[in-house]
Chain A
């Protein structure tokens, strides 16, 4: 098993290599000099020359790639053009907000999506099933930021239960911290929840036809036990996969959600960097987020091997 895990771990290296090169190549996506674009419309020739030297754009392309990769390997993400601070420091300052937001959203999505999907599969064709399917397709089609504004309008502006926007760190008290995260987390969770509910239903439907499920029902086990212990356990692998793959969706949604609720997270950092064309920051965030995505999917692959001994790569 350890050889298996090691092999999966090594397989992530070429993937991250491609990510690193792609993120670097983004700078050269437009014809012309990237330094001119980054410097903006009001830059002097001196500004442009400074940016060009700072980003190493005066070197030949293959040298630039070499320098970039060797810097990443050493954990150096460069410095922000706008603030002059190291990119890793900026990301470190903002990461906590995004981690909490995505974590809560993930908990809500799995906590609601899985049971709802199980219920729909069990009562296939009933009004419960239809309601779940309607929720799944409309949740998946929902523009995240629009839903965020609707929730703000209803729960913050009209009823006044929750704050309109902003973020409070854990240090200012658990309830204050939670109150500020409820609306953003719910907003962010809907798309992901819809995806998980749909996947759970589909996967459960495949399993509920199996003989051992019929046997379990026939020997008089309580439906709850059959559904959870027998069926869900075997239907869980595709659901776990979609949780990993859907993480990209969650991160994308976090960028938009943070903008609606004015949360100081990685999404805001990225959007601010894009407005200022602060390219080292954009590249740094892309690298870190993609790395986390690859890591999460690696953990899920390893979980597979642990959960299901039949799986061998």
Chain B
């Protein structure tokens, strides 16, 4: 990034102009342009999904057989699919599933993974065995593991979340464990030990706070990959059931009509790609802002 005069030594910080919120916002945008772009796009997509009924949409399931496979027009912005359903409406509603799955997978895998990682990292006896187990679990490619899990579970949004959380947990455990191992030898932990502080309290008071920044960054990456994987599973017919529109299964249904009605695939995919990109940009920005290495 180009270094401007005002950046040198933070000299500008105390000037009156910099204290005005607008000027500070401008400075922030100049320093983290991709983070800001990512955040704005992400908020727009969130708003389009959460407030889908307010954005001139109709009923996502309403079929109009007469208007099958209509190209995009002023009446149907993204065209219509093989049942005459409005692709624009379905794309906005489809975002709800994707965003929900992404958030749920990130929160659940972090909570479970952090708890397990803290315990495994702190007890030496457990560590050696558990890390071999984690190596084994991580040798199975995540998407294949999720597919195999979906074969045994019934297709529902809840089960998609479960199938995506399970492959993610060993990866979180590994991250947490690595930090715990280095923190365990830290002077503050030794001091707390010497004072007679018990292990659970050490984990909560001294180890966990140091993990917050890397975990927040990790959460964004998990969220992005979960959204992609939900789409993969649904596209392959092993994810969100067909009666709930999601970006993946809208595209799966459009697959047969790729030569006749490319818009059925184009628009949901565009939303999907933009969402994942926006979340990754926010993740990269947070990593820089919070000073997380990696």
Contact = CB atoms under 8 A, between A and B. Distances in A.
A306 interface: no
B259 A157 contact: yes
Given A141-B224, A146-B272, A270 B147 contact: yes
The residue in B147, B153, B224, B238 that gathers the most chain A C-beta atoms within 10 A of its C-beta is B147
Given A26-B152, A137-B277, A282-B148, A252 B139 contact: no
A101 interface: no
Contacts of A273: 151
Interface in B121-168: 132-133, 135-137, 139-145, 147-153
Contacts of A103: none
Contacts of A19: 136-137, 139-140
Interface residues of B, number: 47
A34 B152 contact: yes
Given A34-B152, A140-B280, A141-B224, A286 B272 contact: no
Interface string A269-301: 011011101010011011001100110000000
Given A34-B152, A255-B147, 16 more contacts: A17-B136, A18-B133, A22-B136, A29-B149, A137-B277, A137-B284, A141-B273, A141-B277, A145-B232, A150-B266, A274-B151, A277-B151, A282-B148, A283-B148, A286-B145, A290-B141
A230 B119 CA distance: 44
A284 to B, nearest CB: 11
A141 B140 contact: no
Nearest to B268: A146
A251 to B, nearest CB: 5
Interface SS, A side: helix
Interface SS, B side: helix
Interface of B: 1-2, 34, 132-133, 135-137, 139-145, 147-153, 224, 228, 231-232, 235-238, 251, 255, 258-259, 262, 265-266, 269-270, 272-273, 276-277, 279-281, 284
A271 B237 contact: yes
A251 B144 contact: yes
A110 to B, nearest CB: 19
A155 interface: no
Given A149-B258, A256-B235, A274-B238, A143 B273 contact: yes
A18 B277 contact: no
B144 A153 contact: no
B232 A256 contact: yes
19 contacts: A15-B135, A21-B136, A23-B148, A30-B152, A141-B277, A142-B273, A146-B269, A149-B262, A149-B269, A150-B269, A157-B259, A157-B262, A251-B144, A252-B143, A255-B232, A270-B144, A289-B141, A290-B141, A293-B139
B136 A152 contact: no
B258 A153 contact: yes
B253 to A, nearest CB: 13
Nearest to A285: B144
A18 B170 CA distance: 13
A255 B151 contact: no
